Amino acid sequence: MNQSSGLRHWPITSPRNEFGRISVILPCSFGGRPGRGAHQALASLHEVISGRKVEWVLEADLKNFFGSLSHEWMLRFVEHRVGDPRLISLIRRWLKASILEDGEVRANEEGTPQGGSISVLLSNAYLHYVLDLWFERVVKPRLRGEAYMVRYLDDFVLCFQYRADALRVQKALCQRLGKFGLTLEPSKTKLVEFGRFAQRHSSKRGRKRPGDVTLIV
């Protein structure tokens, strides 16, 4: 407030800067940003598998990810990063916008419309809190061996040194995702023996070769 004139001075915030705060990421996250595309994700995955102690890989895909996002959790995550209530209100209205489906207009109670850049931005922010931070800060310190993640939008690969760690995380992952309205797609989720250490150990156990892994990009 300017005491002499009686005018209130409101701070001016840039929408670009505010959206930049939403797009906070960890090194394991790829997709939807310049220099963090499919080629970089594959290069990172190759570096992990070929250069680290990796023997087991959990390849995962989220079922109907964009259509399952919780609006309540999404707004809580955004509010954690953005201080401008006008932008939060805009995102809330955008999430709640009606959908035309089979000739009928219906209210949108969950999920985010696909096709726009803001959808990718918000979905990355959602998984930053649901998956990325959880894996890096909660899961990894509790494991016996090494563990790594590479995520490209809603597809991700978890790499482990030990099978026991992989099985523990796979079970915990389902519980973690369920808390935020997400589930794994069974047909695209599998745990396989993979990597240079797996190649060496599988021959000792009489297996011809370890499994195959494909990061869906």
Query: Contacts for 176-183 with beta carbons within 8 Å, 24 or more apart?
Result: 176/130, 176/131, 176/134, 177/62, 177/130, 177/131, 180/70, 180/73, 180/126, 180/130, 181/68, 181/69, 181/70, 181/73, 181/110, 182/62, 182/63, 182/65, 182/68, 182/69, 182/130, 183/62, 183/63, 183/68
> In tens digits, what is the pLDDT along the chain, a chain of 217 residues?
444 444 443 333 444 555 556 666 899 999 988 899 999 999 999 999 999 999 999 999 999 998 899 999 999 998 888 878 888 888 888 787 666 566 665 666 677 766 666 788 889 999 999 999 999 999 999 999 999 999 999 999 999 999 999 999 999 999 999 999 999 999 999 999 987 766 665 555 555 555 555 554 5
